[in-house]
C-alpha cells in the first residue's frame, strides 16, 4: 500500500540531525555534540506549577488559542523583552512547540506554486513543510556572507511567486543573528510588497553580545513571530510555543491549529505561565554559562586552525571541514565517531549549502566540551 501514500510525503526525508544521532547514539563512550538539547533542568518553580496543575485536575481542553492568563503573560513577556505589542485575546496562539507554529503558519499562508525564500544553511524543519504545502523552497547561499541573510542577499530571489521569507535568528545551525539595521533594511524593502515574514525567534533569549531585535518591531503587519520555552527555559519536552501576528492573520492560522491539535497541553500551559511570570528571567543564568562555553569552544576551534564564525546566539558552532580532508560532511562525521568517539551533525543535514561543514552543539558541561574537543583535536591532527 505504500504506493498510495501522498507523493509529497514520500519525497521528504527524516531530519538529518535525528537520522545521524539515531545512527550513532548507541556507541559506548561516545561524546555527543549533536542534539540541540539544553543540559540544564527545567526550573523547579516551573515543574511545581505543572505538578500543581495535575493535582488540581487541570486536565481538560483549554481554549484553542490557549488559556487567557498564559496568552497575557506571553504578550507581556515579548513587550518587556523586545518591545513588541500584541493583544492577548486575538494576536497570540499557544502552540505545541515552535515546530507546530511553523507548520500551521505555512499551511495557512502557502498555496500551490508559491515560493518561500530561506537562507542556506538552515535548520531542516522548514523545507519539508513548505513542500508538503505544494510550495517551492528557494534557498539563498549565505556561506560567503558570514552566514548573514541580509537584504542584499535576499533581493535577487524575490519574484511574483514569493509568498514568505524565513528569518530564523539567532540561527540554527550557525548561531548568527541580524542587527537592528539589517532587519530594518529588510522591513523597509518589504513594506509595500505582499510578502509575509516568518521570524523564528526560538533562541531570542540566548543572544550574547547584542540585544535581540525582532523584525516585527518594524514590520508587524506582515510578520509572524514564532517563539517558545524549549531553549529559554529548558522545556523541550513540555512542547510549548507561541505564535504572534496581527489579528487578521492569526484568525486564519488559529483554524489550522484548531483542527491540528485542538489546543496545547493543559498541564504544560500552567507550567509555561510560571515560566513567563515568576521565571521571566530564568534564561539569564543559562545564557551566562552558555556565553562562557561559547568563548571556550571558539578559542579551542580556532587554535585547531578551523574556520568558524563566532555565534551571536543559540548554542551551536557551524564549522568548516578543513579543505585538506577529502570527505563529504557525512563521511567525515561518521569517521570521527568511529575513530575519536565524538559525534557532531553533518552539515548536509542543513540543506545542500551545509555540505562541507559540521554543527557542534555546546549545550553540555565544560568537562564534556574539554574532553570532546581534546579527542577532536587529536583526530584532526592524525592522518585522515
Instruction: Write out the DSSP string of 94-157.
Output: EESHHHHHHHHHHHHH--TT-EEEEEES--TTSHHHHHHTT-EEEEEE-GGGTT---HHHHGGG
pTM across the whole model: 0.96
Nearest to 296 by CA among 310, 277, 313, 284: 310
Q: At 166, phi and psi to the nearest 5?
A: -95, 125
| CA–CA separation, 246 and 349 (whole Å) | 33
Q: Are 319 and 360 a contacting pair, CB within 8 Å?
A: yes
Query: Distances from the Cα of 136 to the Cαs of 114, 118, 126, 130, 179, in angstroms?
Result: 6, 10, 11, 7, 28
Q: How far, in Å, CA of 155 to CA of 10, rounded?
A: 32
Domains, the chain, in order of start with CATH, read 2-41+282-381 (3.90.1150.10), 44-276 (3.40.640.10)
The one-digit pLDDT tens for each residue of the chain (384 residues) are 988 999 988 888 888 788 888 888 788 999 999 988 999 999 999 999 999 999 999 999 999 999 999 999 999 999 999 999 999 999 999 999 999 999 999 999 999 999 999 999 999 999 999 999 999 999 999 999 999 999 999 999 999 999 999 999 999 999 999 999 999 999 999 999 999 999 999 999 999 999 999 999 999 999 999 999 999 999 999 999 999 999 999 999 999 999 999 999 999 999 999 999 999 999 999 999 999 999 999 999 999 999 999 999 999 999 999 999 999 999 999 999 999 999 999 999 999 999 999 999 999 999 999 999 999 999 999 866
Amino acid at each position: 500500500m505504500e504506493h498510495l501514500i501522498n507523493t509529497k510525503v514520500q519525497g521528504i526525508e527524516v531530519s538529518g540531525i535525528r537520522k545521524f544521532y539515531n545512527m550513532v547514539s548507541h556507541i559506548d563512550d561516545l561524546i555527543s555534540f549533536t542534539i540541540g538539547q539544553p543540559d540544564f533542568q527545567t526550573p523547579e518553580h516551573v515543574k511545581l506549577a505543572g505538578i500543581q496543575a495535575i493535582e488540581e485536575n487541570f486536565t481538560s481542553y483549554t481554549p484553542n488559542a490557549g488559556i487567557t492568563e498564559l496568552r497575557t503573560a506571553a504578550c507581556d513577556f515579548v513587550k518587556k523583552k523586545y518591545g513588541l505589542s500584541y493583544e492577548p485575546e486575538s494576536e497570540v496562539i499557544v502552540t505545541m512547540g515552535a515546530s507546530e507554529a511553523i507548520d500551521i503558519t505555512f499551511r495557512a499562508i502557502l498555496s500551490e506554486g508559491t515560493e518561500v525564500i530561506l537562507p542556506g544553511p538552515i535548520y531542516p524543519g522548514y523545507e519539508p513543510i513548505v513542500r508538503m504545502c505544494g510550495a517551492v523552497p528557494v534557498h539563498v547561499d549565505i556561506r560567503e556572507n558570514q552566514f548573514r541573510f541580509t537584504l542584499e542577499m535576499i533581493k535577487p530571489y524575490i519574484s511574483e511567486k514569493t509568498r514568505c521569507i524565513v528569518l530564523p535568528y539567532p540561527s540554527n545551525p550557525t548561531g548568527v543573528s541580524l542587527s537592528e539595521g539589517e532587519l530594518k533594511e529588510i522591513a523597509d524593502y518589504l513594506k509595500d510588497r505582499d510578502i509575509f515574514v516568518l521570524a523564528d525567534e526560538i533562541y531570542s533569549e540566548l543572544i550574547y553580545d547584542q540585544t535581540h531585535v525582532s523584525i516585527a518591531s518594524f514590520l508587524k503587519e506582515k510578520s509572524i513571530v514564532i517563539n517558545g520555552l524549549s531553549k529559554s527555559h529548558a522545556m523541550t519536552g513540555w512542547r510549548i510555543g507561541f505564535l504572534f501576528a496581527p489579528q487578521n492573520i492569526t484568525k486564519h492560522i488559529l483554524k489550522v491549529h484548531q483542527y491540528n491539535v485542538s489546543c496545547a497541553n493543559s498541564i504544560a500551559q500552567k507550567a509555561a505561565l510560571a515560566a513567563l511570570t515568576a521565571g521571566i528571567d530564568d534564561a539569564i543564568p543559562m545564557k551566562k554559562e552558555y556565553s562562557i562555553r561559547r568563548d571556550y569552544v571558539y578559542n579551542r576551534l580556532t587554535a585547531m586552525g578551523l574556520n568558524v564564525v563566532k555565534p551571536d546566539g543559540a548554542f551551536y558552532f557551524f564549522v568548516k571541514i578543513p579543505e585538506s580532508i577529502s570527505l563529504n560532511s557525512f563521511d567525515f562525521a561518521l569517521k570521527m565517531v568511529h575513530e575519536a568517539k565524538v559525534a557532531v551533525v553533518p552539515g548536509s543535514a542543513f540543506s545542500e549549502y551545509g555540505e562541507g561543514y559540521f554543527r557542534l552543539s555546546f549545550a553540555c558541561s565544560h568537562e564534556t566540551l574539554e574532553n570532546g574537543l581534546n579527542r577532536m583535536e587529536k583526530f584532526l591532527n592524525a592522518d585522515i
